[in-house]
């Protein structure tokens, strides 16, 4: 799965997934939504964000939750 709006840079925000290279993390968007903020409220508070940024933050979070690390068992 590709996420063209989610960027990772170890020099920015500690390498957290950010939106289009900005200092806005996907986690921040998810936190706002979890706190009950609507999409419209978020877009109004952060006018440099786009609706697609919110969509991709949600998709990215869902993808990360489904990703699993399994220890390699050598017999």
pLDDT at position 38 is 97
What are 18's strand-pairing partners? Answer: 7, 25
Q: How many folded domains does the chain comprise?
A: 1
What's the pTM? 0.83
Give the separation between CA 33 and CA 13, rounded to whole angstroms: 20
**Domain limits for position 27:** 6-66
56: exposed, middle or buried (C-beta count within 10 Å: 0-12, 13-18, 19+)? buried
Residues 6+ apart with CB under 8 A from 66: none
pLDDT at position 8 is 93
pLDDT at position 56 is 97
Written as tens digits, the pLDDT of the chain (75 aa) is: 789 999 999 999 999 999 999 999 999 999 999 999 999 999 999 999 999 999 999 999 999 888 776 677 776
Q: Would residue 30 count as lying in a domain?
A: yes
Q: Would residue 73 count as lying in a domain?
A: no
45: CATH: 1.10.10.10
Give the separation between CA 68 and CA 30, rounded to whole angstroms: 20
pLDDT at position 31 is 97
């Amino acid at each position: 799965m590709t996420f063209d709006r989610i960027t990772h840079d170890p020099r920015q925000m500690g390498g957290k997934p950010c939106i289009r290279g900005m200092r806005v993390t996907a986690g921040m968007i998810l936190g706002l939504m979890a706190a009950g903020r609507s999409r419209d409220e978020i877009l109004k508070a952060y006018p440099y964000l786009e609706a697609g940024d919110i969509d991709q933050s949600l998709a990215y979070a869902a993808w990360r939750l489904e990703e699993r690390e399994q220890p390699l068992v050598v017999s």
